[in-house]
Each structure stands twice: as structure tokens, then as C-alpha cells.
Structure 1
Amino acid sequence: MNDDERRQGAQSEPDFEERLRELLAEDAYTIHPSPAPYPAIRRRGVVERRRRVAAAGAVLVTLAAMPVGAYALSGGGAGGGVATTPTPSVSATRAASPTPSPTPSGPARPATEGQLLDGITFEQAVDGLEKCLDYQRSGSFGDDTDPGEPEDYGIILAMRSTGDSNTPGDGMYVVAMRQTPQQTYLICNVKNGEAQGVTGFGDDTDAIPDEGPVFVDPNSGKLFQQSFLDRGNWKLPFRWAVTGTVKPSVAKVTVSYGDSSSEAALDHGRFVASGVLNEQVTLAPHVKGYDADGKLVYDSDEDKYYQRTLP
């Protein structure tokens, strides 16, 4: 190759590289990934969460289950008295026991007195709720996760919490519901006058097209389980509770758990059942729903999304 040919070749290499870069850039602009199928992903996520609820709930505060719609996690007032004998919850119907609307003076009361357990007063439950909301506001969750004010909520449940190897020390659980600007639920654990754990979550029942008339809240696993670290060695007696949503067609919900059973209180589309366990268990609470004629319309044993066994 003579000098002229070498000079022409040297000039053509940069031209070739520049053209190649242009072609690659043009191809990059013509390739667009398909949009993520968010609704389908959300439904699959909710279904998978239901399948894993027992394992997620067992870790209580440290590994609290957080479904779609959750707005905060982590963090513990006064504990309630210790229950030593099985005490079924007081039953209630929608028509007979309406929940008063929230007032500027504070949260709404629960539909029945049977939702305030173990000697915990309404005032103590409100105090616990206020501590948990204050804790959330002090965290770095951003303005769009503001949990609201106490008067925005209604108290759904208050009961003692039993410490275990994962979260030592007894305390109190408070469950509250906010209707606006969107339906939101909050499960809060308070110990020694401080918020120890807060889980906020939205209503995800519409995310599962074939969901039944009763929806057992996956987060309520922390209310009826002790840590899987203590499997077979739970502290007894153990106050437990189960919460969830019910459709208008459901007039009665019953729950059996180990050696205890309860007829749930119905409170603005929520059901709340509780009892005291005096034996070790391996199966999750058995939940049944009935219509106004007494017909069985839901059985958790036949709910493909409900985790029947404990971790």
C-alpha cells in the first residue's frame, strides 16, 4: 500500500466510526420497551401476599407485612390488662350498632364495647393512636404520606399485645380506620408509652377479581401470631384477634382458633373477632361468613388465597 492509499484509509476509518455511531443512535430511538402491565402486576402481587401472609405476619414489627397501599412502617403507650380466661367478643350487626361519625374532639368510638379488650379504655386507645400518628409524622415519609389527625379515624380494636422473642415486652395494639380521603387502616403497637410499630395500608380487596365476600386482612396476622422463633413455645394465655372486610351481603362472621371461638363485631364494613388462646396451635384462625338467612357464604378453608397453616 502506497502513501496515498494509507492516507485515504486513515481518513475513511473516522468516517466509518462516525456513521456507525449515528446508526446506533437512530436504532436506540426506535426501540421502545412495552409499558409495564401495572394492573396485572398489582393483582399478582396481592395474590402472592395472601399466600405468604402467615410468614410475613409472624415477624411482627421487625418484618411487618406491607401490601400495596402501605404508607408507613416501624417504630411503641400504655399496655392493657392481662386476660387469663377465654372471653369471646361481643357480637354486633350493622343495623343495631352503627359507629358514630368522627367529631373534632377525637376519633369515633368502635361499634361495640367488645372491641375494647383487656381493660383498655377508649381514652387509652385514643392516646395510643395519637402516639402512633405523631411517630409517623416525625419520620422521613414525605408530605404525601401524612397519616392525618386522630379525629380522622375511628377506633376498630384495642387489645393487649404479647411480647415474644422477636419483640420482647407486652404492650397494646390499636387498630383504627380512616374513611377519607381514601379508606385507610392502621395497626399500631405501643409499649412503655412509645410507638413501637406502625403499619398503614389501603383496602386492596378490588385487586383480586375472585375475592370472596369476606377478606381476611393479611396484616392482621400480627394480631393472632407470636414469632415463628417461638414456634411451639408461645406465651399463654394469648390474646388474639382477626380483622378484615366484609361485603354488605355478609350479616355474621364467626372465627374459631385453637380452643377459643368468637362471633365477630361488624363495624362499617370491617369485621373484628377476638378471643384468648390457652393452647399451642399450628393452624390459622378458621373464618366463616353467613348471609342474613344464615347461609354459609364464606369459609376460609376453601379460600385459595388464605394461608391455613402457621409458619
Structure 2
Amino acid sequence: MSEEERDFEEQLRELLSEDAYTIRPSPVPYPQIRRQGVVERRRRVAVAGAVLATLAAVPVGAFAAGGGGTGTADTATTPTASASATPTSTPTPTPSPTPSGPAGPATAGQLRDGITREQAVEGLDNCIAEHRKNVAMGARDLNLGKADDYRIILALKSTGDLNSPGDGVFVVAVQEKPSEVRLVCNIKGGVASGLNYSGGSDRQPDSPPVLADMNGNKLYQQSFLNKGNWKLPFSWGFIGTVDPTVAKVTVSYGGVGSEAVLDHGWFVAAGTLTQQVTRNPHIKGYDKGGKLIYDSDEDKTYQQVQ
């Protein structure tokens, strides 16, 4: 082989060697690829963990199951309130207002025969309303005012007699201001059938310490037409006024005695007769020391016999 041929062969080998390197791909950098793969997996794991943490933080019941019975949660609702929320304070109840209307009696026993205060108030209202109707038709105006201005001191059954047939209810009410008034209302079947009025005080400078109401006999007597033939048993009442020196009043009627109630300057007694009587109630009054200061038997102005 000539020298020129040898030089050409070496150049050719060199060229082939360079071309071979040129067209052959560079070796794959496995270490770098591995590192990138590890980083990518860690990133994905971190993202998945964040998603799970977010789902775990949503309260139970924050999602509703989708339709079709698959159980897939696809509808979000408002999360329920946390149990640790500050409880709402309970407002303090407002006291009930004091009932309006006429004042009631000093004791429950002054409402007799099962009559309630509401029924007594209704009866008083009816009497005053009936009086206004009569005034509109030309009757004398007694200026009775409003029922709220009165105090009920007695309510009891009224027994019908030959003069006024049919049982009913008596309601006794008094007013002190603007003027002194005493009403005895008779209500039958829910309708006012009679009204007895007394205006001003019965008391005079020389009145005794215990003074029976001048028209109170309608509460403890039946009609004169029934004399000798009373309807029994008979529920009766008795009222009058006392001065400040009186601390106790007793009333005896038909042989049965009891202590009367003192109610804002009035005395109120009541009972039931099982036999007809001919004498009016017997009254006694005592001072704070227990001394007898009034006896109707000794009062010349008091009518003893019916």
C-alpha cells in the first residue's frame, strides 16, 4: 500500500468516526430524569394531601348526595353552625301588665255562689251600659262614669220573687272619686234588669261608728209580696260603712252570726238562710281594743223588724 493510500484511509476513518458521533444520540441522563421523577411524584402526593385535608375540614352534612342513587356528592349546602358557637342569651320575660277594670274585693269570700270576678265585672259593665241606653231615651243621667272607676265589694246570687221573678246575680260596686257612689246591680240571663243607686255618703256628723246602708235591705230581704213565703234557701248579703275607730264588725242573721269583712271603709257580710226570718240582721262593732262601741239593738235609727 502506498503512502498516499494510507493517508487517505486514516482521513476516512477519522471522518467516519466524527460522523458516527454526530448522528448517534447523546447518552440519556438517567440520574437527572430520576431526580425529576421523584420531585414530580412528591409534588403530586403533596397536592393530593392538600385536597384530602380540604375535604376533611368540611363539616359532615355540607354536601348532598346527587341524584340517581350513586351517592356522589355534587351539591354543596351551607355548613352547619359549630357547636362551640356562643349561645344566644335568653331574653328576660316581661312581667304581665296589671289587669284593667274595676278593682276586686278585699277577700275572695266576697264573691259568693261560684261567681267569678270576670262575671261580676261583666255584670257591672252591663248595668252601666243599660243605664246609658235609658239616658238616651230620656231617663235621668246619674253620671255613673266608667266601670274601671269602681271597686266590687260583693257579688252573690239573687233570688227571684213575686215582685221580680227569675233568679240572677247581684253585684255591689262602690266609687269614691270623683264622687261617692254605691251601685247594686241585678243581672238576669246576662242582661241588667235592675239598678239601685246611692250617691254621696250616707254618713252624717252624728252617725254611729257602724252605719247600715240605707238601701241594703234588698240584699237580705225578699219582696214584701213574698212575706211569709220566702223561697229557700236564700243567699243574702249586708253592707254598710264604718268609721276609722272600728276594727271589727259582727253580723247575726237568722240566729247565725259571723264576722264581717272590712273593705276600705265598708263592712260586708253574707250568708245563707234556710228558714224565713222576721228580724233584720243584728250588728255589733268593736274598736282595736275589743271594746263594743256599736250595737244595733241600742241604735234607735236602726229598723229592727222587717
Gaps (5+ residues) in structure 2?
1-97
2:281 paired with 1:285? yes
Which runs of structure 2 are paired with 1:114-153 in the superposition (5 Å)?
Answer: 114-140=109-135, 145-153=142-150
Change (3 A) 1:160 1:144: closer
The 2-side partners of 1:144 and 1:228 are apart by 29
CA contact (8 A) 1:104 1:151 kept: no
Query: Which residue identity lines up with residue 199 of structure 1 in the other structure?
Result: N
Q: Is the 8 A contact 1:213 1:250 kept in 2?
A: yes
Root mean square deviation of aligned Cα: 1.6
> Is the contact between residue 182 and residue 197 of structure 2 (CA under 8 Å) also seen in structure 1?
yes
Tell me which residue corresponds to 1:201. Answer: 198
TM-score by length of 1: 0.64
Q: Percent identity?
A: 58
For 1:188, which of 181, 185, 189 is the aligned residue?
A: 185
Partner of 1:212: 208
Q: Say if 1:261 and 1:275, in contact at 8 Å, map to a contact too.
A: no
Deviations 1:274-309 (A, max 9, x none): 011111111000011111111111111111111100
Report what 2:16 is aligned to: none
1:244-272 Cα offsets, whole Å, 9 max, x none, are: 00001001111001132221111110000
**Whole-angstrom CA distance in 2 between matches of 1:228 and 1:149:** 33
- Kindly tell me: are residues 145 and 251 of structure 1, through their superposed partners in 2, closer, same or farther at Cα, counting changes over 3 Å? same
Amino acid at match of 2:232: L
The answer to whether the Cα contact below 8 Å between 2:180 and 2:201 also exists between their aligned partners in 1 is no
Contact 1:259/1:279 (<8 A) preserved: no
Q: CA deviation at 1:175?
A: 0.2
Cα distance change, pair 295–130 in 1 and its aligned pair in 2 (3 A)? same
Q: Deviation at 1:229?
A: 1.2
Partner deviation per Cα, 1:34-88 (whole Å, 9 max, x = no partner): xxxxxxxxxxxxxxxxxxxxxxxxxxxxxxxxxxxxxxxxxxxxxxxxxxxxxxx
The alpha-carbon deviation at position 138 of structure 1 amounts to: 1.1
Partners of 1:144 and 1:248 in 2: CA distance: 33
- Aligned mate of 2:174, from 153, 158, 177: 177
For 2:248 and 2:119, locate their aligned partners in 1 and report how far apart those are by CA, in whole Å.
29
- Counterparts of 1:61-140 in structure 2, within 5 Å, are 105-140=100-135
Q: Deviation of residue 143 (structure 1)? A: 8.4
Cross-structure match for 1:250: 246
- The answer (yes or no) to whether the contact 1:137–1:146 under 8 Å persists in 2 is no
Counterpart contact for 1:164–1:227, Cα < 8 Å:
yes
Map of 1:165 onto structure 2: 162
1:165 aligns to what SS in structure 2? coil
- Higher-Rg structure is 2
Q: Distance in 1 between matches of 2:299 and 2:255?
A: 22
CA contact (8 A) 2:203 2:211 kept: no
Aligned residue type for 2:279: L
Structure 1: runs of 5 or more not aligned: 1-102
RCO higher in structure (CA 8 A, sep ≥6): 1
